Amino acid sequence: MAMNEELEQKLAALALDALDAEERDDVETRLGTDPAAAAEAARLQEAAAWLGSLAAATPATDLRGRVVDAAQTRRPAGAGVDPDPAVHINPVEIFRQGVTASIAEIERLAPADWSAPLLKREWNVQQMVGHLLGAARYLDGALGRDDAISDLPLAGHVEFTQPWIDAQHDRRPAETTLAFTEAFSGLAEHAARLDPEALTAPTQYYGFEVLRATALTAASFELWAHVDDIRRAVGHEPLVLSADELSVMCRLAGGILPFTMGYVGTPHPDRTARLVLTGPGGGTFVVATGTDVPPPGEEDALVVTDALGFCRVAGRHLDVDEIDFEVEGDVVLARDMLASARVLAA
């Protein structure tokens, strides 16, 4: 299909993440049927990321401000010291979508797939499903569906799931599949019955008091990350997340970076970074480890990277060195900040 001027303008706006939801959906539908447009979109997105790096390198121009302003306009800025950002996308629907996709993936596994070793992890596929079953039991309590397990710290997450991991040793894959389907379908149905007051009620989640909606978002992130581990282990294509799903995950991962930096031992006290995530689902996050937040342009580091790449780092699919990111300012702060997001998918 030939590209007209209107389509070219929309592809440029897509690269800057400056389309509204309806326009973005229309353009992405076109990209699925028009290889030339898809190639042009990829080229423009690479160029947009490159311009972002130039903006960082030459703050005297207006490029830096344009990159930041475009991201802020597309998505509200994240409050880096607040682990419970206001929910602007329905976390129940995001969780339901993740559960549906995950059940479909588990159900299509071949018998030989269940013993496949996971990349960058010590488990095979069936053990990972066991880990997720343990995480489902914990989420039951956090959402009020079962007795809450309030004294479990984040560091004890994997240890807590070990009984479910061990239980899969003598199980047939069909039994593990059924257990997974029942556990997560039940959770999705329970979440759908929660009214707004229940969703915004506080709950304990790995040693922290958060909103139930936040706990549900964190569980969606873990489910996506670990089921994608399974996809990669067995050679299946990765799950293509929607812009809304990416936005929810970016808000979670970006919003708690000051905590994760301290948790992994790289706190950088009284420092501030501005993280600009480009592409669908991206946005801007001010990551402050102190009480004072400087005005835009005076942070210790400006970091520009792709939203999906950032989520793949947080999901332990990629190391920091395996994604493209540009930094103006303190490179050590930037690298430590990005690497600390990996605690979200223990």
C-alpha span between 312 and 305 (Å, rounded): 12
Q: What is the mean pLDDT of residues 177-185?
A: 97
C-alpha span between 280 and 245 (Å, rounded): 10
Q: Tokens 């209107």 belong to which residue?
A: 6
Assess whether pLDDT exceeds 80 at residue 48.
no
Indicate the pairing of strand 283-288 with strand 208-211: unpaired
Fold of 91-239: Four Helix Bundle (Hemerythrin (Met), subunit A) (1.20.120)
If 0-12 CB within 10 Å is exposed, 13-18 middle and 19+ buried, where does residue 222 land? buried
CB–CB of 68/31 below 8 Å? no
Phi first, then psi, for residue 157 (nearest 5°) are: -60, -50
Give the rounded percent of residues in the chain with a pLDDT score beyond 70.
79
Output the average pLDDT for the chain. 81
Question: Quick count: other Cβ atoms within 10 Å of Cβ 344?
Answer: 21
Q: Which tokens is 162 given? A: 């070990």
Assess whether pLDDT exceeds 60 at residue 73.
no
Q: What is the mean pLDDT of residues 229-253?
A: 88
- What single string gives the DSSP state of each residue in 142-187? HTTSS---TT--GGGHHHHHHHHHHHTTT--HHHHHHHHHHHHHHH
Q: How far, in Å, are 96, 98, 142, 209 from residue 92 at the CA level?
A: 6, 10, 14, 19
Q: What is the mean pLDDT of residues 215-219?
A: 91
Phi first, then psi, for residue 44 (nearest 5°) are: -65, -35
Contacts of 267 (CB under 8 A, 6+ apart): 261, 289
Q: State the number of CA atoms in the 13 A half-sphere of 252 facing the CB.
A: 28
Q: What is the mean pLDDT of residues 181-191?
A: 97
CB–CB of 154/127 below 8 Å? no
Where does 78-83+256-345 sit in CATH, by number?
Answer: 3.30.1050.10
Residues of the chain with CATH 3.30.1050.10: 78-83+256-345
CB–CB of 39/30 below 8 Å? no
Tens digits of residue pLDDT in 116-138: 999 877 899 999 999 999 999 99
Q: Which of 122, 95, 126 is nearest to 113 (CA)?
A: 126
Q: Which of 329, 322, 209, 342 is nearest to 264 (CA)?
A: 342
Task: Answer yes or no: pTM beyond 0.75.
Answer: no
Ranked by mean pLDDT, the top range of 92-96, 146-150, 206-210 is: 92-96
Residues of the chain with CATH 1.20.120.450: 91-239
